[in-house]
Chain A
């Protein structure tokens, strides 16, 4: 059973860069059957899709965050990462990493990390 675990600072200052890592165990980030995704959820609110990376390195980002987001893959460490630059208080949220799986031609997020809370505050 694959497991995902987010890690990174719980507190980031405004205007700085938020950096998180998702470590995958029990499976390989190099598998062509999957893609790797970041989602966030402000307290008491809904889910926001941030972006994804394919095993061959291609990426898709939410247009609302595209100018500030970078998602990368490190196959040697079986990890993928999220960098979000120029953060403000509006970026305070629980950040989830998740595995996207192809069920035939349909895509869904079938495995999730437990989430990590990131506060943006001076």
Chain B
């Protein structure tokens, strides 16, 4: 299995801050990397696919980058509604493993 490791596991930030979350794959996965946002008690929601392509309807303050083994999710200006846990997922080979999550606290 391809392991995906996120860092940090949690962070505290203020409204307006720039936030960066990192995801590292245990082997090269090109750009087969997705990002999801999960709010408490809700199902995850797709933010970004193919490492950097924003899903329709997702605010432009979210962006993704990276290729190979190292990827980042950036929130350019944190909003109160961004309080959530964020997960990366590799879609290079099955099982399509998820990172352990990064909890963003406002």
Contacts and interface: CB of A to CB of B under 8 A. Distances in A.
B53 A103 contact: yes
Dominant SS at the B interface?
loop
Interface residues of A, number: 24
A48 B98 contact: yes
A114 B35 CA distance: 18
B99 A109 contact: no
Contacts of A51: 95
B79 interface: no
A115 B43 contact: yes
A74 interface: no
A110 B43 contact: no
B94 A60 contact: yes
Interface of B: 1, 31-32, 34, 36, 38, 42-46, 49-50, 53, 55, 87, 89, 91, 94-101
Interface of A: 46-49, 51-52, 60-64, 96, 98, 103-104, 106-110, 112-115
